[in-house]
A and B are shown apart, each in its own frame.
Chain A
């Protein structure tokens, strides 16, 4: 039931973004906001708190996103929060991104890095993944300081870990 609801909301968000003309940019903005919700538990709980007036929660969204993202992105987030599904927003966004990539015959590659990748690096990484796996991917970068350095790429169930954290863990295991 939960999966079908998430898929339904994702389909709706994708349809709205497509209708507005630039679904890829909206997907990217929603993806970054979803990662922010995952990393900031207080923000997620605040938006999901039905004890707070809806206007207050929408005002928080407006304050956070109003000047940073497109109006479509802000409106979609407000719609999901207003429907009382703020806790499921990250999963809805993931499903929407997957849906958008699939509409372009691509697969989402979630890239974790301590710093953001440049556009050139993202394109070269997508090409490298295509070369290695044969799959055409869209790179979605998640800023994760715990990686320390390097990149961790997740494509479905496949993980390509080239992070400094992994090397330190390997070093830790070698001490045991």
Chain B
């Protein structure tokens, strides 16, 4: 706070020094060039004891005297310091302006600057927060991406293992099926062979029996039939021996 007041007080002093240092030549206030030169000329006449002719002659012979007049009358007596009234008015105006600035302008400017600084700080904080959030999101995204990649790799591995397992199971099942089919085929072949043999045997038996039946039927005349009946009667009676 003190440093700030020091800087505030140094500012008008520096301005005053600059004004004194860079002030341009100014004509004498309230004094014309003619009156100045007349005053100088009177001083020369007094030095020449009232001899005007001698003075003019010297001015005509010695041009440096004229230059001296011009130099002392045309140029301001002080090239640095302004006139006193200018200093008073200027200083008063400066003080008034300074007081106004200290009392009114500076608090407003300081409030605006503080608000601006606060806003910038808030924006910086928000930007930092946004950056942190973005970084968090990026980290989260990268983590999720890494998880996704890991999960995808795991799924691929599992799918590969499952495919290998399925392939093995299918191959094993196929072998079992083939073995069962071979076994069934063997059983079917054996059954068909047995059935064919049975059919052939039945067919042969049928043919043989048909032939035997025809022979028997041809041989069963009335006498044979009667003897068969008699033999049956004896068999039923239990007297056939």
Contact = CB atoms under 8 A, between A and B. Distances in A.
Contacts, number: 79
A171 B236 contact: no
9 contacts: A115-B229, A125-B232, A151-B228, A151-B232, A162-B231, A162-B232, A162-B235, A164-B220, A168-B209
A118 B222 CA distance: 12
Interface stretch (A65-73, A92-100, A126-134): A126-134
Interface stretch (B81-89, B175-183, B197-205): B197-205
Interface string A131-163: 110000000000000001111010000001010
Nearest to A152: B232
A175 B208 contact: yes
Interface of B: 198, 201-202, 204-206, 208-209, 212-213, 216-217, 220, 222, 224-226, 228-238
Interface string A165-176: 000100110011
Given A148-B220, A164-B216, A125 B225 contact: no
A71 to B, nearest CB: 32
B233 A175 contact: no
B236 A172 contact: no
Question: Which of B206, B212, B216, B232 has the most A CB atoms < 10 Å from its CB?
Answer: B232
Given A113-B229, A171-B209, A172-B205, A131 B220 contact: no
Nearest to A123: B233
B238 A131 contact: yes
Given A115-B222, A176-B201, A148 B229 contact: no
Contacts of B235: 162
A134 B67 CA distance: 201
Contact of A131 (B201, B228, B237): B237
A160 B229 CA distance: 13
Interface string A108-122: 000001110110010
B28 to A, nearest CB: 168
A168 B226 CA distance: 19
A132 B237 contact: yes
Nearest to A167: B216
Contacts of A164: 216, 220, 228
B198 A172 contact: no
A176 B205 contact: yes
A124 B229 CA distance: 10
Contacts of B201: 175-176
Contacts of B208: 175
Contacts of B236: 125, 128-129, 131-132, 153, 160, 162
A83 B91 CA distance: 166
Contact of B224 (A128, A149, A172): A149
Contact of B220 (A114, A171, A176): A114
A132 B238 contact: yes
A115 B235 CA distance: 18
Contacts of A121: 226, 229-230, 233
Nearest to A129: B236
A175 B212 contact: no
Given A132-B237, A175-B209, 16 more contacts: A115-B222, A121-B226, A121-B233, A124-B233, A124-B237, A128-B233, A128-B234, A131-B237, A148-B220, A149-B216, A150-B229, A150-B232, A168-B212, A172-B205, A175-B204, A176-B202
Contact of A148 (B213, B230, B233): B213
A123 to B, nearest CB: 10
Contacts of A125: 229, 232-233, 236
